Amino acid sequence: MRSLLELFVTYVSFVVLWVAAWWALSISYWLTLAISVPAAAFLVRLFLIQHDCGHGAFFRRRVFNDWVGRVLGVLVLTPYDVWRRSHAIHYATSGNLGKRGTGDIDTLTVREYRALPRFRRIAYRLYRHPIIMFGVGPAYHFFLRNRLPLGFTRGDRRFWISAMGTNVTIALVAGVMIYFLGAGPFLLVQIPITLLAASIGVWLFYVQHQFEDTSWDEDHAWKRHDAALYGSSHYDLPGVLSWITAHIGVHHVHHLCSRIPYYRLPQVLRDFPELAKIRRLTLLQSFVCMRLRLWDEGQRKLISFSEARALQAE
């Protein structure tokens, strides 16, 4: 019942804000854009409900989790079964240097970066630039990359059915909306909301693992519990931001036990207050994470390109 209430409040709030943004077109597009900000936040919250469904944490029965996740996948432009598989790989390998590349943000060690040819260094630097990481990248990921189950073979029909089924349903829903509202009004409302939500989502995912004292280990030394507690941040957001982002900031606890629904995560911190201090990251502190690009195996921390150059000069 609590999960149903969370779903109802989030979905209705998103729909009301979307309609308000559409109505505001008759007054001022700046007002539409202003309303798009909270609408995008609730769209992120819908994605995080899908996230909990993928972990089997939102409902007791898997069938409910799966079908709610698939329906929400149409709204958040994410094929549920494809995402669930890639995210499961991320969850099982987070912080493992030997198993990078699926469901995570590409991260090189200082040694690996130095060994790259010049053009690949430039490509990596562009990939990690904030404009690409939080602007162009999210748009590409949700609008284009999610349309195909990249990384999955054609032989596994489940993922292709998930991606194509989501694509067809997105096209049908968009077609109906355009038929009744017109292409211009629909796109003027939907695109800013989706772009902003995508950037917020990528930012949240980024700061959950890309902070200075995170943890990465070679495969032989990697331990799941250590990776969960020390390789995932406690992004301690102010109350309303924590609520609207479905407490995903309590990420170290989530990685420790993914079957805890997001609305129970604050209770875990109350019951075990020592967890609140582990890898705590405030909103202001999180902005420093944007400059961290490389894993220094010697110092066991993420560093910037300038810090890597300074190390090389020593």
For residue 14, the model assigns a pLDDT of 98
Determine the pLDDT at residue 153.
63
Going by C-alpha positions, the residue among 253, 243, 216, 212 that lies closest to residue 231 is 216
Read off the tokens for 15.
């729909």
Per the structure, the count of domains in the chain is: 1
Residue range(s) defining the domain that contains residue 212 = 2-313
Confidence (pLDDT) at 243:
97
| pLDDT recorded at residue 30 | 97
Q: What is the pLDDT of residue 312?
A: 77
Please give the pLDDT value at position 157. Answer: 86
Q: How much is the pLDDT for 136?
A: 97
Q: Is the pLDDT of residue 155 over 70?
A: no
Q: Is the pLDDT of residue 62 over 80?
A: yes
Question: What angle do helix axes 29-54 and 2-23 make, rounded to 10 degrees?
Answer: 160
Is the entire prediction scored with pTM above 0.75? yes
For CA atoms 148, 149, 153, 158, the dihedral sign is negative
Q: What pLDDT score does 151 carry?
A: 75
User: How much is the mean pLDDT over the chain?
Assistant: 95
What proportion of the chain, given as a percentage, has pLDDT over 70?
Answer: 99
pLDDT at 314 (0 to 100): 65
Please say if the pLDDT value at position 152 is more than 90. Answer: no
